[in-house]
C-alpha cells in the first residue's frame, strides 16, 4: 500500500487504474496510424495549396476510385496473382538453400572459407545489375524472374543463418559433446535451437529483399504483375495506377512480414528479451 493512501483518520481507497490502462491501450493502438494520417494530410494540403499538380499526384479520392475500378474488373487480382506466384516460388527457391548453406558455413570453418568470400562479393552487386545476365541465360520467360527473386531471398537468409550459427555459445556445444552427443545430435539439440532467432530474422530479411527483387524483375521483363502495372502507369501518364500499385506492394509487404513475425513470436515464446517485454506491456 502506498504511503499516499493513508489519511489521518484511517485509510483511503486507491483510485482504480482502469481508465489509465484504457488510455494507454488506445494510444498504443492509434500510434502506428499517426504517421500515415499525417502523410495523408500533407498529401491533401499540397494539392489544395497548389504545391503539386493533379497530373503529378492525383487526389486520394481519385486513387481510391481507380483501385475500386481495377478491383471490380479483375485486373488488379490478375496482376496480384502473378506477383504472388513469382514471389512465393522465388522465395522458396532462395530461402531453402540459404538456410542449408548458412548452417554448413556457420558450423564448418573450411566450408565457410570456401563459400563465404564468393557470397560476400555477390551481395555487393545491385539487383538491377543481374537482370541483363539473367535474361541472356534464361530468356524473357518466367524462369528468369523466379531465379532473380530467389537470388534476392538467398543472400540475407544465408548471411543471417551463418551468423546465428556462429554466435551459438561454444560452452553449450562442449557440454553436449562431454555428454556423448554426436555431430547430428549437437546440430539438432544445441545448434538449431540456439540459432533459430537469427534464422527467423534472416527469413524475414529475405522476404523483404524478395519483394524488392520482384519489383526489379517485373519492371523490366514482365507482361503482368504489380511491377508491370507501375511501368504501364508511367508510360500512359496514369499516376493513379502507379500509386495503386505502390500501395498494394506496401500492404502485401507489411502483411507478409507480419505473418512471419507472428510465426517468430510463436516459435520463440520462451525468449525473455527487451522487445518481447515491450510487446507484452499494456
Note the CATH number of domain 80-269.
Answer: 1.10.3720.10
Dist. CA 97–CA 153, nearest whole Å:
10
pLDDT of res. 172: 81
pLDDT in tens, 97-125: 999 999 999 888 899 999 999 998 888 88
Dist. CA 115–CA 108, nearest whole Å:
11
Q: Whole-prediction pTM value? A: 0.79
With beta carbons less than 8 A apart as the criterion, state whether 207 and 91 touch: yes
Q: In terms of DSSP H, where are the helices of 58-141?
A: 60-72, 75-107, 109-123, 130-138
pLDDT of res. 155: 92
Dist. CA 246–CA 44, nearest whole Å:
18
Domain boundaries, given as residue ranges, for the chain: 80-269
pLDDT in tens, 141-199: 888 889 999 999 999 999 999 999 888 888 887 888 887 877 778 877 888 888 888 89
Dist. CA 213–CA 98, nearest whole Å:
16
- Helix 109-123 / helix 75-107 crossing angle, nearest 10 deg: 140
100 phi and psi angles, rounded to 5 deg: -65, -50
The enclosing H or E element of 256 equals helix 239-267
Dist. CA 118–CA 4, nearest whole Å:
67
Amino acid at each position: 500500500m502506498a504511503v499516499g493512501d493513508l489519511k489521518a483518520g484511517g485509510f483511503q481507497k486507491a483510485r482504480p487504474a482502469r481508465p489509465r490502462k484504457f488510455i494507454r491501450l488506445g494510444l498504443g493502438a492509434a500510434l502506428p496510424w499517426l504517421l500515415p494520417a499525417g502523410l495523408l494530410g500533407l498529401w491533401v494540403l499540397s494539392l489544395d495549396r497548389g504545391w503539386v499538380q493533379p497530373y503529378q499526384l492525383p487526389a486520394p479520392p481519385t486513387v481510391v476510385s481507380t483501385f475500386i475500378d481495377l478491383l471490380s474488373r479483375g485486373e488488379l487480382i490478375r496482376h496480384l496473382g502473378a506477383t504472388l506466384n513469382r514471389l512465393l516460388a522465388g522465395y522458396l527457391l532462395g530461402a531453402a538453400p540459404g538456410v542449408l548453406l548458412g548452417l554448413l558455413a556457420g558450423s564448418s570453418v573450411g566450408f565457410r572459407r570456401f563459400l563465404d568470400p564468393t557470397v560476400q562479393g555477390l551481395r555487393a552487386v545491385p539487383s538491377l545489375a543481374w537482370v541483363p545476365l539473367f535474361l541472356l541465360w534464361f530468356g524473357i520467360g518466367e524462369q528468369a524472374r523466379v531465379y532473380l527473386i530467389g537470388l534476392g531471398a538467398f543472400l540475407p537468409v544465408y548471411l543471417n543463418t551463418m551468423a546465428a550459427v556462429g554466435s551459438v555459445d561454444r560452452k553449450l556445444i562442449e557440454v553436449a559433446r562431454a555428454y556423448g552427443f554426436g555431430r547430428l545430435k549437437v546440430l539438432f539439440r544445441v545448434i538449431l535451437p540456439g540459432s533459430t532467432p537469427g534464422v527467423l530474422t534472416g527469413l524475414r530479411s529475405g522476404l523483404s529483399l524478395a519483394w524488392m527483387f520482384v519489383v526489379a524483375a517485373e519492371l523490366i521483363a514482365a507482361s503482368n504483375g504489380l511491377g508491370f502495372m507501375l511501368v504501364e502507369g508511367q508510360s500512359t501518364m496514369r499516376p493513379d495506377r502507379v500509386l495503386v500499385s505502390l500501395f498494394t506492394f506496401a500492404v502485401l509487404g507489411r502483411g507478409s512480414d507480419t505473418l512471419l513475425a507472428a510465426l517468430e513470436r510463436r516459435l520463440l515464446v520462451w525468449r525473455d528479451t527487451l522487445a518481447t517485454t515491450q510487446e507484452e506491456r499494456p
